[in-house]
């Protein structure tokens, strides 16, 4: 049996640009929880935003906060109401705790729970630390065919699944995606797995287009190539850029669907264009019930995540990991909380 220490190392955000390593007690699971030794944590744009700006919309870092919400690990202890046969299982973590009793939760839309506690969203700590707790049913066992990194990236994959579901992607569809970053590439793979016949990634950055093309996705430069004749069934914005959103809306056929995943604050929406072409404009907020779908798509090989990992860091290098996120040579950056320093952080292309 794994020996569980009394203390663990955590990377803690104390304020804008202020990260420190701190020793904290290893938490004890409640009756319905499992204790997970964290193996791999993906760096998300939201982590970077909290690090650089101290807030995202109404969520403000007002007290020390552990970032990181894309994670995998191993169950090392369980609460009183959890079968101890779970100890030793490798798991991917859905990093949220809904109340389970509000109208949204009871209707299955627990992502909209007003009392949601979500990892790395103030004041809830995340996973840039050695051990975390989660409710038993939000720790999904993964087979050995899924790596620790891929299991962690089932979280951003869930964003892509939720976008494809919200868009109603079906067999034979044409899907246009703005943004060739991790979410765009993952959403493109998911859309193809859902049966889309033509998946197009639009990105003004040639390096991002080149990376997206390696996944067999069709790429266009929206600065020089029009997409308005695509007549896409579904447009997904994964860029947060107003010009990209407006171009995408013009590229959707009448009756099509526009799914907003990116983080644009505001953009001018032509009501007559939406009304007269009966466009369905919607957003996504996190996800519900997506981990089993993600696991199935990974096991079947329809979606590939390991090659998205371009850089790997130890717990002492979280600031470096956050500082490089979004670079054109970077897709996913990974932090290993159980490792102090990774000597050669760039890993893309290695066997």
Q: What is the pLDDT of residues 139-193, one digit of tens each?
A: 999 999 999 999 999 999 999 999 999 999 999 999 999 999 999 999 999 999 9
Give per-residue pLDDT as tens, 227-258: 999 999 999 999 999 999 999 999 999 999 99
Residue 180 and residue 132 in one domain: no
Environment class of 143 (CB within 10 Å of its CB; exposed 0-12, middle 13-18, buried 19+): exposed
Residue 230's domain comprises: 164-283
Is the same domain home to 138 and 226?
Answer: no
pLDDT of residue 350: 45
Please state, in angstroms and rounded to a whole number, the distance separating the CA atoms of residues 235 and 300.
26
pLDDT value for 351 = 35
179 and 113 assigned to the same domain: no
Please report, rounded to a whole number, the percentage of residues in the chain having pLDDT higher than 70.
Answer: 96
195 and 135 inside one domain: no
d(CA 328, CA 313): 18
CA distance linking residue 348 with residue 351, whole number of Å: 9
Cα-based torsion angle of the residue sequence 269, 271, 273, 274 in order, rounded to the nearest 10 degrees: 90
pTM given for the model:
0.95
Residue 325 is predicted with a pLDDT of 65
pLDDT tens per residue across span 24-82 = 999 999 999 999 999 999 999 999 999 999 999 899 999 999 999 999 999 999 999 99
Count the alpha carbons within 13 Å of 40 in the hemisphere toward its beta carbon: 22
Residue owning tokens 């950056």: 333
Q: How many domains does the chain have?
A: 2
Distance of alpha carbon 311 from alpha carbon 320, whole angstroms: 10
Distance, in Å, from the CA atom of 249 to the CA atom of 231, rounded to the nearest integer, reads 10
Task: Look at strands 252-260 and 232-237 and give their pairing.
Answer: parallel
At 266, is the pLDDT very low, low, confident or very high (cuts 50, 70, 90)?
Answer: confident
CATH number reported for the structural domain that contains residue 241 in this entry? 3.40.50.720
* Cβ pair 250, 222 in contact under 8 A: no
248 belongs to a structural domain: yes
Mean pLDDT value across residues 83-109: 98
């Amino acid at each position: 049996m794994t020996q569980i220490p009394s203390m663990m190392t955590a990377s803690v955000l104390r304020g804008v640009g202020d990260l420190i390593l701190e020793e904290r007690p290893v938490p004890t699971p409640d009756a319905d929880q499992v204790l997970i030794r964290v193996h791999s944590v993906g760096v998300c744009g939201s982590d970077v935003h909290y690090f650089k700006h101290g807030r995202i919309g109404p969520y403000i870092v007002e007290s020390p906060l552990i970032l990181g919400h894309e994670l995998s690990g191993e169950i090392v202890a369980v609460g009183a109401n959890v079968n101890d046969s779970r100890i030793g299982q490798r798991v991917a973590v859905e990093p949220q705790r809904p109340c389970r009793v509000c109208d949204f939760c009871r209707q299955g839309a627990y992502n909209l729970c007003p009392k949601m506690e979500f990892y790395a969203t103030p004041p809830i700590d995340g996973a840039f630390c050695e051990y975390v707790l989660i409710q038993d049913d939000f720790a999904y066992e993964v087979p050995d065919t899924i790596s620790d990194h891929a299991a962690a990236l089932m979280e951003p994959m869930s964003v892509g699944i939720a976008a494809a579901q919200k868009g109603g992607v079906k067999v034979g569809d044409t899907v246009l995606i703005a943004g060739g970053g991790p979410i765009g590439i993952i959403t493109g793979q998911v859309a193809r797995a859902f049966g889309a016949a033509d998946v197009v990634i639009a990105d003004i950055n040639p390096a991002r287009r080149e990376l997206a093309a390696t996944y067999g996705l069709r790429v266009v430069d929206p600065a020089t190539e029009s997409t308005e004749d695509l007549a896409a069934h579904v447009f997904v914005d994964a860029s947060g850029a107003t010009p990209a959103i407006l171009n995408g809306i013009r590229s959707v056929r009448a009756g099509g669907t526009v799914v907003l995943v990116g983080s644009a604050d505001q953009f001018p929406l032509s009501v007559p264009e939406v009304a007269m072409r009966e466009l369905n404009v919607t957003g996504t907020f996190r996800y519900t019930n997506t981990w089993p779908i993600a696991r199935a798509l990974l096991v079947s090989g329809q979606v590939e995540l390991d090659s998205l990992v371009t850089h790997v860091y130890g717990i002492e290098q979280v600031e470096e990991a956050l500082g490089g996120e979004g670079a054109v040579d970077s897709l996913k950056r990974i932090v290993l909380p159980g490792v102090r320093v990774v000597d050669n952080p760039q890993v893309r292309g290695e066997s």
